[in-house]
Chains A and B, each alone.
Chain A
Amino acid sequence: SQQGEEDPQALSIQEGENATMNCSYKTSINNLQWYRQNSGRGLVHLILIRSNEREKHSGRLRVTLDTSKKSSSLLITASRAADTASYFCAPRSYQKVTFGTGTKLQVIP
């Protein structure tokens, strides 16, 4: 299975702090994607990092990938209350997309 596992399961921080979430997986991948889910509805794609990349930035998001350790991290800098959501990683080696249980992030104003 290419399913990733996120860690921690839950994270609570103050607004303005940075939030770091981790993802571990077991198989070789072509890329790894991070998604966000608000209020238990549809997921929204945040960022994709390819297997030959080590770090990628998008706005306040920073993603790292270590293929030797089969792990990735998502850093949200200067968090806002609106960042409160669940975050899921999706390691991809082929078309099928599967998800873990996610990290529930709560940003306290």
Chain B
Amino acid sequence: GAGVSQSPSNKVTEKGKDVELRCDPISGHTALYWYRQSLGQGLEFLIYFQGNSAPDKSGLPSDRFSAERTGGSVSTLTIQRTQQEDSAVYLCASSSGEGSNTEAFFGQGTRLTVV
């Protein structure tokens, strides 16, 4: 596709349920990032994939959060046993992965509301 695509755009879930958020990066981009942004706050780094390297999971807030990237393309962020504090916009970005002199392209995010 032409840009980074995230689905769903909005998700309302009940506390305790599991949710899966999907990110389709720009074709050919080897680097993929997940961020979380609570209302009125900055971007909190969650996880970063680069090619076939082990992902950088240093930003995941708890073991309820996990992410995978299949075939070096689509990524899924899974939140198990959701809590109200998980409510936020989850943003995905990708870049060409050719070092630091590249820009990150963002999707429009998934707004997650846990009720």
Q: Which of A22-76 contact B (CB under 8 A)?
A: 30-31, 33, 35, 40-45, 48, 50
Cβ-based interface call for A18 (8 A): no
Distance to closest chain A CB from B29 (angstroms) = 12
Contact B91 A30 (CB under 8 A): no
Residues in B67-115 with C-beta less than 8 Å from chain A? 89, 91, 93, 95, 97, 99-101, 103-109
Partner of B93, one of A31, A43, A94: A43
A-B residue pair count with CB separations less than 8 angstroms? 69
* Interface SS, A side: loop
What chain A residues lie within 8 Å of B108 (beta carbons)?
41-42
Question: CB distance A42 to B95 under 8 Å?
Answer: no
Query: Does B65 count as interface, using CB distance less than 8 angstroms?
Result: no
Q: Which residues of B contact A (CB under 8 A)?
A: 4, 31, 33, 35, 37, 39, 41-43, 45, 48, 50, 56, 89, 91, 93, 95, 97, 99-101, 103-109
